[in-house]
Amino acid sequence: AQKVTQAQTEISVVEKEDVTLDCVYETRDTTYYLFWYKQPPSGELVFLIRRNSFDEQNEISGRYSWNFQKSTSSFNFTITASQVVDSAVYFCALSDITIYNQGGKLIFGQGTELSVKP
Amino acid sequence: EAGVVQSPRYKIIEKKQPVAFWCNPISGHNTLYWYLQNLGQGPELLIRYENEEAVDDSQLPKDRFSAERLKGVDSTLKIQPAELGDSAVYLCASSREWSTGELFFGEGSRLTVL
């Protein structure tokens, strides 16, 4: 069965600190996608990144970076020089794309609530 | 471009009462999803539509939940009768294609059952 684990329930940092959010996943599929979504206090989840299982190259987007390691089934997310506006709940998710009617079904982790204090 | 619109944002009802949630997806998005999010948890898929066809409703408790997407645009999710355990946030999302996983979410409808 597919599963996503975000062991950190809450993280609190001071502005300008770097912070890493951990994500570990389980799947028997060889082809899959991994995602990160951000949920600010307003409630709507916002897509941040998608990674397919064949691409282990790390990615950087501004202050955000992602480290995908298939060997450890991890897809960690780092925010560099955190800001108060980064405060939100962050979800890691997994999608199986091998079966047509199952594709697009995102399996979410429990989320990590990040609090950045000024 | 307007985002996914949901209503109502908040709803408080007594148990055994019916309730309905409405969702208007982003224009041109063929795929529509209803997710359930319990407090402190990640969203869980209830149902996914491709146009007007429900292609994945395996997680929808069909004894009390129903959904429809007439004309492949707006969608309604209904609970009848509501139970205390149904208190949660009901999220609607849409995407251009089911396969990308890039979903656009609404702000959700928070249901409280007393």
pLDDT, position A101? 46
Residue A103 pLDDT greater than 80, yes or no: no
Please check whether residue B43 touches A, CB under 8 A: yes
Q: Quick one: tokens of B45?
A: 């898929």
Q: Which of A43, A45, A105 sits opposite B48 (nearest CB)?
A: A105
Q: Determine the Cα–Cα distance for residues A27 and A86; give it in Å rounded to an integer.
A: 29
Every domain of chain A and the residues it spans: 3-117
* Averaged pLDDT, A84-94: 96
Please check whether residue B2 touches A, CB under 8 A: no
pLDDT tens for residues B64-91? 999 999 888 999 999 999 999 999 999 9
Query: What superfamily in CATH does domain B5-113 come from?
Result: Immunoglobulins (2.60.40.10)
CB contacts < 8 A, A to B, total: 66
Residue A97 pLDDT greater than 80, yes or no: no
Instruction: Return the CATH architecture of domain A3-117.
Output: Sandwich (2.60)
**How far apart are the CA of B55 and the nearest CA of chain A, in angstroms?**
6
pLDDT, position B20? 98
Residue A100 pLDDT greater than 60, yes or no: no
Q: How far does CA B56 lie from the centroid of its chain?
A: 13
Q: Coil, strand, or helix at residue A71?
A: helix
Q: Quick one: tokens of A1?
A: 């069965």
Every domain of chain B and the residues it spans: 5-113
Residues on chain B touching A108 (C-beta within 8 angstroms): 42-44
pLDDT tens for residues A34-47? 999 999 998 899 99
* Averaged pLDDT, A64-70: 95
